Amino acid sequence: MSAPWRVSVVIPTYQRCASVQRLLSALARQTFSPEAYEVIVSIDGSGDGTQEMVAQFRAPYSLRALWQPHRGRASAVNAGIRAATGDLLVVLDDDMQPVPEFLAAHQRAHQGDSEVGVLGAVPICFNSSSSPVVQFIGSKFNQHLEKLLQPGYRFMLRDFYTGNFSIRREVLLRVGPFDEDFKDYGNEDLELFVRLTNAGIPLIFSAEALAYQHYEKDLAALAKDKIAAGRTAVLLASKHAGTLDSLRLSTYGQSSLKWRLLRGILLGIGHVWNGMPRLIIAFVSALARIRPSWFQLVCPAALDYFYWEGAFSAIQENRRKGQGLTALPKLANPCKRRLAT
């Protein structure tokens, strides 16, 4: 290629003004020529001053903000894509902090073969003073990134993410943009993975296209995300039945017998009393302040509960409507069998 493509960086955001400002400052320190890229902040209904901050931000690159009513990440990304003028799209979540070589690395990854999707590295920043929840999430996710670095690693459905992802605009539009039926948190990227794979678009991992992730959610926010992820996993499996075996939805019966019994009881109580998730959040949050040595056992169990709370509520809705995924493998009627599982 004789000259770099013009790059469009699309940043979907919701109620995270300070994070966006940190990200825009990092993008101002790129080794990539400022004339070679634009940045589009796609604001998904935020009322926290993000739009005003972007308008006042002095950037060496072309910068603009879009605003729309709150419709979810997929819709916000698509709005940015429609406004983009670059040949190469880089989708970047608002909690990222890219290194100076970030854009140059994404552009290099597309040299020689433009028909690829590139995942950049997104390690979560944490240390001993970070909250137990951030330490747990960071440790788990960073271990996952080590797996992606293995030579010849083949991407599976649940490996994929678009918090740091690049693809030629023409390729993405041919495959189709993000599915805007995904209004809640999670799985809109896995739905895109299905279509990219079906279209024969190879995926590669670039450790050099590095953006550090600042994970800032507390347990209540994380629980909300997990419930939403359970619901959107059911949506994904309803749209693409072949994904079910690759999703966490297929693993309900794989935990220990003790946990399956306890989880079934908790889900059953939650089925008749909607205060159960709040009670578990309060309990685990109290443990996080005390930081007992066994907290690292309680946290994943709580997150597992929240995921299934969301999944079963979505399955129950599908059963009422008579459409979509209405049962899990070997669970003909999971919503009625919670206490017995």
Residue 19 belongs to a domain with what CATH number?
A: 3.90.550.10
- 1 located within any domain: no
Render pLDDT for 11-53 as a digit per residue (tens, 0 to 9).
999 999 999 999 999 999 999 999 999 999 999 999 999 999 9
Same domain, 259 and 322: yes
Give the per-residue pLDDT at 321.
Answer: 95
- Please give the single-letter amino acid code of residue 322: G
Same domain, 246 and 124: no
Give the per-residue pLDDT at 339.
Answer: 33
Sorted by sequence, the CB contacts under 8 Å of residue 295 that are 6+ apart come out as: 132, 287, 288
- Please give the single-letter amino acid code of residue 111: Q
Cβ atoms within 10 Å of 122's Cβ, excluding its own: 23
Residue-range definition of the domain harbouring residue 136: 7-213
Render pLDDT for 296-306 as a digit per residue (tens, 0 to 9).
889 999 999 99
- Binned at pLDDT 50, 70 and 90, residue 166 comes out as very high
- 2 located within any domain: no
| pTM for the full predicted model | 0.91
Q: In this structure, are residues 123 and 208 in contact, taking their beta carbons and an 8 Å threshold? A: no
Render pLDDT for 204-222 as a digit per residue (tens, 0 to 9).
999 999 999 999 889 999 9
Query: Taking 70 as the threshold, does the pLDDT of residue 160 lie above it?
Result: yes
Render pLDDT for 170-182 as a digit per residue (tens, 0 to 9).
999 999 999 999 9
Same domain, 160 and 24: yes
Give the per-residue pLDDT at 66.
Answer: 97
Mean pLDDT, all residues of the chain: 92
What span, in angstroms and rounded, lies between the C-alpha atoms of 104 and 97?
15
Q: In this structure, are residues 98 and 207 in contact, taking their beta carbons and an 8 Å threshold? A: no
Q: In this structure, are residues 83 and 9 in contact, taking their beta carbons and an 8 Å threshold? A: no
Same domain, 262 and 125: no
Number of folded domains in the chain?
2
Q: DSSP E strands: which ranges in the chain?
A: 7-13, 37-44, 62-68, 88-92, 96-98, 117-120, 164-168, 203-206, 211-213
What span, in angstroms and rounded, lies between the C-alpha atoms of 195 and 242?
12
Q: In the block, which residue shows the tokens 């309680």?
A: 298
